[in-house]
Chain A
């Protein structure tokens, strides 16, 4: 059973960079049908797709509203992938989820992490 676990600081200061890592266990992130995704949910609001990266690390898709501030990366040796969001503001306060985007059978997020709350505050 694939498991995903987010990790990173729970508190980030305004204008700084938010950095999160998703550790994957129970399977490899190197599967050719999968993208590895980040999704966030501000308190009391809906899900917002942030972006996805292919296992090779060379192909990625980002939410246009966040694109200028996002970077993602993969570390296949550690079976991890990461998100960096720069110049954060209070509007970036949210629960951040990592997930597997399964493109091999219909494009859906089939495995999710439990989520980690990141608060942007001084």
Chain B
């Protein structure tokens, strides 16, 4: 069982927007602005797309937007494209003994 809760799957049509949630506790998501998001295509390593809740690394499309409210972080992808079809994972710094914790992952299907 993952420490952060994500929906198992989401879907959307090309051009639409979708949002993936990531719910934790005050010991992780709610307590720090250290939420990151990763995109993983089949057979590939995860790729960082958002860090510190809402910052995008160089080269990541501005169609990816991160936010946080309370114990829940969100990743919004606007203008869906076929290449966005992938698994998405959130992660957060945690004050527990592990330092970092992942969400269970969300599969995005572009219809």
Q: Which residues of A contact B (CB under 8 A)?
A: 35, 37, 39, 46-49, 51-52, 61-64, 97, 101-102, 105-110, 112-115
Binary interface profile of B, 76-100, with partner A (CB < 8 Å = 1, else 0)?
0000000000010101010001111
Q: Count A-B contacts at CB 8 Å.
A: 75
With contacts A37-B100, A49-B98 taken as known, whether A108 is within 8 angstroms of B89 at the C-beta atoms is: no
Closest CB pairs A-B (n = 6): A106-B52, A108-B36, A61-B99, A108-B51, A46-B105, A107-B93
Question: Which chain A residue lies CB-closest to B2?
Answer: A46
Residue in B33, B34, B48, B99 whose beta carbon sits within 8 Å of that of A110 in the complex: B48
Asked if B89 contacts A47 (CB within 8 A), the reply is yes
A26 to B102, CA, bound (A): 27
Asked if B91 contacts A114 (CB within 8 A), the reply is no
B38 CB within 8 Å of chain A: yes
Q: Give chain B's interface residue range (CB within 8 Å of chain A).
A: 20 to 34
Chain B residues near A115: list those with CB within 8 A.
45
- Can you sample 20 A-B contacts with CB below 8 Å? A46-B2, A46-B103, A47-B46, A48-B102, A49-B91, A49-B98, A49-B100, A49-B101, A49-B102, A61-B98, A61-B99, A61-B100, A102-B51, A106-B51, A107-B36, A108-B36, A108-B52, A109-B36, A110-B51, A113-B45
